[in-house]
Structure 1
């Protein structure tokens, strides 16, 4: 009974329940503290689902990475929250034309923001596997050797900033409101948890449309060129347009499939990972180091 609830109910709980609550609170102008509380609840649900119904039991066992991953998550989410708080000032400089559809129902405004951000972030993600400089920073995310929810929040802060700028700037240019941005920030965090989840959940035909864990595991394959697929954050629409969509039902994954083949000794400590992009010549793919 519990397994079935998690297998078929976990994604709706986060995707619809948590995001829906966030949209309702943001639309009502509630304190942003409630959005932080929702994010904490989503993280707790993520850990619970992974332990009660894991895709891989071994991925629930820390590899001397738990403290590092917590620091990554706290730093990166704090930066996002700070960006939301600073949005009025940023928007006053960036907004070029106030044509945001404020008359739309608030939920539709958030959906529009999600779709636009999905395009910008996906394109930067794609470029990060092709441009050596970007790859050096993105490699931090690909250095993981177990696939679980917190992986989504494990990014070099500079690379996260580039993705954030690409996803949000077009929205700010046309006057996206702060409350919409706050709901979008929560949606991004929830999506990253779902996309990297170790929970053995099912979404039926939606797995061919939404960028969730079944498809994103292919993106983390460590061999050169093999992981250059399924770049989408929210959807797989852009991957289909770019010709980078890949999915093979029944394919199984283990820790030996993950990481960076050309750099098996990639630094595992937080500070070492922050400095690594400045010390190494990066790769343009997951499995080559450009040296």
Structure 2
């Protein structure tokens, strides 16, 4: 068992990310039906749960906090909304003229890489301003209300805030002329990355922690502190955090009882109340 733990800590993050994106690109090349990606995402969540139990960062976070049903609702609603957005892409592309600059002649891997880097900028910027603009913070606070960090947390967002991030990340891609098959792949890549960002696996990624925005860096962001947690906004990379001066690293990442919405120990825990919380006048 110690040997298995050691291998998971070192290999889990890169193997998970590259492996699942390889599967997704391979399915796209083979013209697989659309329902193949949700099945692949379901298997990724299952692998995440197993890895979290074999090599946990914080054992207490593997135990339910009465949040499983709520988290499932968030995940289903948000992933379905993303799928509908991708399905609507041809209509949106028909209404909004694009510059025709998309590198359609490139291999699918190259196109996906471009899409990831462009989406990373837009979503990171939307995330950053959500901590700066008072009108956006209540929507984003739903995501910060989690009391433990595990793979499913990345899919927990208020639908309106997810729509804001989705628009910020995909608008430049639509203007460039991104095709629908690449849109499906980048949506899948975002889900895989969010699972890794919030994973409870005690992953050891060495120097990659300074450029790859997975759990070792992102846990700092969930500290229940308006100052110490106001860091590491990146989705895929930490590039923009370095430029914004908001990057933080180190071993003092939060443990059980140290995450959540600062000053709000009473933050609602059930799904419907979380949807309504941003619109309460007394908040």
State the TM-score bracket (shorter-chain normalisation): over 0.9
Matches of 1:245 and 1:11, distance apart in 2:
20
Distance change (3 Å), C-alpha of 1:106 and 1:151: same
Shift of residue 252 of structure 1? Answer: 4.3
Shift of residue 73 of structure 1? Answer: 0.6
**Does the 8 A contact of 1:113 with 1:184 survive in 2?**
yes
Matches of 1:57 and 1:265, distance apart in 2:
24
Cross-structure match for 2:114? 112
Matches of 1:255 and 1:133, distance apart in 2:
29
Shift of residue 191 of structure 1? Answer: 0.2
1:259 aligns with 2:269: no
1:18 aligns with 2:3: no
Shift of residue 202 of structure 1? Answer: 1.4
Matches of 2:114 and 2:142, distance apart in 1:
30
1:201-248 Cα deviation digits (max 9, x unpaired): 111111110001011011011112221100000000000011111112
Distance change (3 Å), C-alpha of 1:27 and 1:94: farther
Cross-structure match for 1:287? none
Shift of residue 281 of structure 1? Answer: 6.0
Shift of residue 21 of structure 1? Answer: 1.1
**Does the 8 A contact of 1:132 with 1:281 survive in 2?**
no
Unaligned runs of 5+ in 2: none
**Does the 8 A contact of 1:26 with 1:182 survive in 2?**
no
What is the RMSD computed on CA atoms of the aligned residues?
A: 1.2
Moved more, 68-77 or 254-263: 254-263
1:2-45 Cα deviation digits (max 9, x unpaired): 21231122112221100111122224432221111110111011
**Does the 8 A contact of 2:234 with 2:240 survive in 1?**
yes
1:81 aligns with 2:83: yes
Shift of residue 261 of structure 1? Answer: 2.1
**Does the 8 A contact of 1:29 with 1:179 survive in 2?**
no
Matches of 1:12 and 1:203, distance apart in 2:
8
Matches of 1:245 and 1:78, distance apart in 2:
32
Distance change (3 Å), C-alpha of 1:187 and 1:270: same
**Does the 8 A contact of 1:230 with 1:245 survive in 2?**
yes
Moved more, 177-186 or 253-262: 253-262
Q: Trace 1:160-199 onto structure 2 (pairs within 5 A).
A: 160-199=162-201
Moved more, 98-107 or 5-14: 5-14
Shift of residue 160 of structure 1? Answer: 0.3
1:209 aligns with 2:217: no
Cross-structure match for 1:96? 98
Shift of residue 269 of structure 1? Answer: 0.5
Distance change (3 Å), C-alpha of 1:100 and 1:256: same
Cross-structure match for 1:274? 275
Which of residues 8, 17, 21 in structure 1 aligns to 2:10? 8
Residue 257 of structure 1 aligns to a residue whose secondary structure is coil
Q: Trace 1:224-239 onto structure 2 (pairs within 5 A).
A: 224-239=226-241
Shift of residue 156 of structure 1? Answer: 0.2
Moved more, 170-179 or 93-102: 93-102
Unaligned runs of 5+ in 1: 283-291
Matches of 1:194 and 1:252, distance apart in 2:
16
Distance change (3 Å), C-alpha of 1:219 and 1:89: same
